[in-house]
Each structure stands twice: as structure tokens, then as C-alpha cells.
Amino acid sequence: MLRVRKDLCLGCGLCIESCPRQAISIVSATAEIDQSRCDQCRLCLDACPHGAIVELAPVSKRELCASVTKLRDRAEDIITRIEMLKGGVNKDKQDVR
Ligand code: SF4
Ligand code: SF4
């Protein structure tokens, strides 16, 4: 499903011209997509020069948990490596003395 990010939309109307289904209109100075008309052709995604049209992909709770776990593991790995590098630097300093 496509959505307009109101914080990025400047209301220029370029997306309206690109839409073959007349699914986009300007409401209160920002674009709005009528989901009942939209057929997900994605032409408006390329037409917007401000990246204000984004695609929302539904994610299950299980997928979200798996992503968080993966990111946490990666972060812990990076922290471990940094600690190892720090240990190596401190050892070098001691060897110099
Ligand atoms: S092209 Fe982008 S910035 Fe312009 S009205 Fe459409 S969504 Fe807003
Ligand atoms: S995806 Fe296609 S039909 Fe839907 S709003 Fe964008 S240009 Fe229009």
C-alpha cells in the first residue's frame, strides 16, 4: 500500500499528473491517495522528486522480532570487536612502556 508522507510532501502536484487512475488529489496542501482507486502501479513513486510517496509493506510480529534479534546480535558482535580492538591498543601501550 502506498502512502504520502505529509512531512515530506510539498504539494507540488507532480504525482497527480503521473497517476493514470486519478487516485491522487491535493488536500490541505499535501497529496492524498484514494486507496479505492489506486491499483498499485507505483508510477507516482518515481514521479515524486521529494520521496514523499512511500510503500508500506505489512510485517508480521514474528518477522519484526526476527529482525530485532538479528540487529541486536550484530550490535553485540560490533561491541565485542571494539572491545577486542581496545584491548589490543591498551596492550600495545603497555608494551611500549
Ligand atoms: S509529487 Fe511528491 S511532493 Fe509533489 S504533491 Fe506529490 S507527493 Fe507531494
Ligand atoms: S500507485 Fe499508480 S494508481 Fe496508485 S496512486 Fe500511484 S500512480 Fe496512482
Segment 67-92, tens digit of pLDDT: 999 999 999 999 999 999 998 777 67
Closest ligand (CA of 1): 2
- Domain count within the chain: 2
67 and 51 in a common domain? no
pLDDT at 23: 98
Residue-wise pLDDT tens digits, 22-53: 999 999 999 999 999 999 999 999 999 999 99
- CA of residue 56 to ligand 1 center, whole Å: 17
Q: Closest Cα to residue 14, out of 38, 45, 54?
A: 45
Which domain covers residue 71, as residue numbers?
59-97
Ligand 1 mean position, distance from CA 38 (Å): 16
- Residue 23: closest CA among 50, 42, 51: 42
pLDDT at residue 34 in the model: 97
Same domain flag for 20 and 42: yes
**pLDDT value at position 87?**
85
Instruction: Looking at the CA of 7, name the nearest ligand.
Output: 1
Same domain, residue pair 63 and 50: no
**Does the structure show a pLDDT above 70 at 97?**
no
